[in-house]
Amino acid sequence: MFNSLRQTFDEHGLTLLAPVLLLGWAGAVVATLILSRRDLQSMIVIGLVTAFIWAVPFMRPFRRAFALVAMFLLGGIGALEIGLRLSHFGADGIAHFSHYGPFDDLKELGIVRLLPNPTLGYGMTPNQRVRYMGQQLDTNSQGYRDHEFRAERTLSVPRIVAVGSSITLGGGVDLADSYPKVLERLLTKKRGAPVEVMNCGVLAYPTAMRFGLAAELGRSYHPDIQIIELASFEIDTADPQALVAAIGIDQPSLPTSLVHRFSFAITALYPPADARQRIASLLPARFFPAKRPSQPVPPAPTDFLQQQLTSLGAAARQEGYRVVLLFNRPMRNFSDVHLEEAGRAKIRSAAEKAGITVVDTFPLFLPREFSDDFIVFPGDLHPNARAHARYADALARAIKLP
């Protein structure tokens, strides 16, 4: 079969041009699936490109080859999808296909809401039962992914409050595998008596808002220790309204195609994030809305984080609890042992001056280790259960219970 195809190419003197067009078609299909967020748009673009290749006169002898390329491309994407789902979620990822996907629109899920307190911006919707990143996500009446919280506490049971983003919440992992719950088990075993660790992570919660939430939770729940997960060491803006607008909590949802919502194969084929942004910037936002239009925002003071740490340290001393700052290591570039080193050193110095303990998870992941072994699924940067276990172990070694 392949010899006859080669003979056809040679007879028409288009041995080079035809394969280039076929590869160009395959690249256009994959690029459209990656960039387009509208199903109809994807079908139109792919249909037009396919029709062009099919209709070009000198390509008529190569329609058989074109059909083979299309078959191998679609078959390859399908096989990759099945393989990724089986390797990450087991047979359930196939049996309950729609329960697992790399993208979930927070507004469409109804899992986030604006809060009356502008300092906090937004929070999770109470008493929700949804699936998020392939896992069941249930919130209590306070809007957190945990059991019901009570302001009153048993003084003989140490209480720890963990504040952070979807990392703390445990996006993509079971609640029991999130680092607050793993830490709860480790400390209970270490102490030989119950320890309470409250998971107060909020999906997509900006670093600048976490300090306000931490202060409020410290007053409301009277913890012995408070953990604040920190992933950013530079803050673009500290304006809560600008942050809400940037995330789009108060705006209509961006369109999302079925491919974006359910295909791990296409997510795995994504180019790096910075390359995606450059590509998207060259395309009309009307047709390829990769992100919301950016609005001018007031810049954060250069020493914003240092100010927040000083303020939080003072509030903790007044309320009678201790603060632990968790440096969350991004699940990428393990070979870069100096990743964000300057920012970490700067924040560590400010934290220690404020009497805050720092747990740095960056050294926990070695250059010889493969970052994809510690993420929920390819193309995503959320830590999986293995990474959460390392976070929890480091915290357990650093925390001294009363």
283-325 pLDDT, tens digit per residue, is: 555 555 545 444 556 667 778 888 889 999 999 999 999 999 9
Please choose, from the candidates 361, 344, 355, the residue with its C-alpha nearest in 3D space to the C-alpha of residue 396: 361
Residue that wins the pLDDT comparison between 355 and 255: 355
Cα(149)–Cα(142) distance, integer angstroms? 7
Give the fold, CATH level 3, of 106-239+297-398: Rossmann fold (3.40.50)
Spatial distance between the Cα atoms of 276 and 278, rounded to a whole number of angstroms: 5
Cα(309)–Cα(103) distance, integer angstroms: 33
Q: How many CB atoms lie within 10 A of CB 362?
A: 17
Q: How much is the pTM?
A: 0.81
Nearest to 330 by CA among 273, 277, 375: 375
- Can you give the residue ranges of every domain in the chain? 2-97, 106-239+297-398
Of the candidates 357, 352, 329, 350, the residue with the CA atom closest to the CA atom of residue 225:
357
- Alpha helices, DSSP H only, in 119-222? 166-169, 179-191, 207-221
| 139 membership: H or E segment, kind and range | none
Query: Strand 322-327 relative to strand 357-360: parallel, antiparallel, unpaired?
Result: parallel
**pLDDT tens by residue, 202-223:** 998 888 889 989 999 999 999 9
Q: How confident is the model at residue 395, as a pLDDT?
A: 97
Residue 291 token pair: 């992100």
Question: Please, what sign has the CA dihedral across residues 183, 187, 189, 194?
Answer: negative
Which has the higher per-residue pLDDT, 333 or 5? 333
Average pLDDT over residues 104-118: 80
- Rounded distance between C-alpha atoms, residue 391 and residue 24, angstroms: 44
pLDDT in tens, 161-205: 999 999 999 998 999 999 999 999 999 999 999 999 999 999 988
Q: What is the pLDDT of residue 285?
A: 56
AA identity, residue 327: F
Q: What is the pLDDT of residue 17?
A: 67
pLDDT in tens, 51-98: 877 777 766 777 777 788 788 888 888 898 898 888 878 888 888 888
User: Is-contact 120 174, C-beta < 8 A?
Assistant: no
What letter represents residue 258's amino acid?
L
Q: How many Å apart are CA 226 and CA 326, to the nearest integer?
A: 10
The three-state secondary structure class of 346 is: helix
Whether 121 has a pLDDT exceeding 80, the answer reads: yes
Confidence of residue 11 (pLDDT cuts 50, 70, 90): low
Structural contact between residues 167 and 201, judged by C-beta atoms closer than 8 angstroms = yes
Residue 363 neighbours by CB under 8 Å, 6+ apart: none
Quote the mean pLDDT of the chain.
82
Q: Which residues pair with 137 in a beta bridge?
A: 130
Phi first, then psi: what are they for 364, rounded to 5°? Answer: -75, -15
- Whole-angstrom Cα distance, residue 271 to residue 22? 21
pLDDT at 49: 79
* Number of other residues whose CB lies within 10 A of the CB of residue 44: 13
User: What's the pLDDT at 15?
Assistant: 53
Model confidence at 154, in pLDDT bands (50, 70, 90)? confident
The edge-to-edge listing of strands for the beta sheet with 225-230 is 196-201, 159-164, 225-230, 322-327, 357-360
Are the beta carbons of 208 and 243 closer than 8 angstroms?
yes
